[in-house]
Amino acid sequence: MKVIFKWNKRIIFGIFAFLDLLCVAVGMGVPFLNILFGFVIGWYIAKRVVIKNKDTKNTLRKILRYAMITSIFTFIIMLVIWGRCVLLLFDSNSNLQNFGIPLILYSPKASFIGWLVLMIFISPFLQLLTTIFSSYLTLLKHLDRKKATPKTT
C-alpha cells in the first residue's frame, strides 16, 4: 500500500484530475461529490507528506499547498462550466426562472447570482476545508500511533 504514496507527483495529479472531472460529471456540474472527494484527497496528501517528510513545519506547509492546488483545479473547472452563465445576468431576454436552479431567494436574478457564487467560489472553498480537515485528522492519527509505539534505547 505504501507504494502509491511514492508515485510521481505528475501521475498523482493526473489521477486526481481524472477523478475530479469524473465527480463533476457524475454530479452534472454540481460539485457536491468533489467536496466529499476532499476527504480522500486530504487523507492521501497527509499520508504522502508524512512518509516523505520528517519536519512538522514543512509537512504542514506542503499539506496546505497541495490542498490549495486541488481546490484551485476544482475552481477552474467550475469557472469553465458556470462562468459562461454570468453573461445571462446582463441579457435582458434571458429567462432565469427556467434555467433549472432552485429559486430560493426573492427574485430569480438574486437566486441565479447566489447559485453562481455557490458553484464557482464556495464549492471549491468547501473542498479546501474538507481536504484540510481530513489531513488534520490523518496527522492526529499518525501522531497518536507514533506516540503509542514504545521507544527502544
User: Distance of alpha carbon 19 from its chain centroid, rounded?
Assistant: 11
User: How far apart are the C-alpha atoms of 151 and 129, rounded to whole Å?
Assistant: 35
Nearest to 13 by CA among 72, 81, 59: 72
39 CB-near residues (< 8 Å, 6+ apart): 130, 131, 133, 134
> What global pTM score does this model have?
0.84
C-alpha cell at 147: 506516540
CA 140/CA 145 separation, integer angstroms:
9
Q: Give the contacts of 65 (CB within 8 A, at least 6 positions apart).
A: none
pLDDT at position 111 over 60: yes
Q: pLDDT by residue (tens digit) across 13-29?
A: 999 999 999 999 998 88
pLDDT tens readout for residues 24-63: 999 888 889 999 999 999 999 999 888 877 777 788 899 9
**CB atoms < 10 A from the CB of 10, how many?**
8
Stated as kind and residue range, the H or E segment containing 3 is none
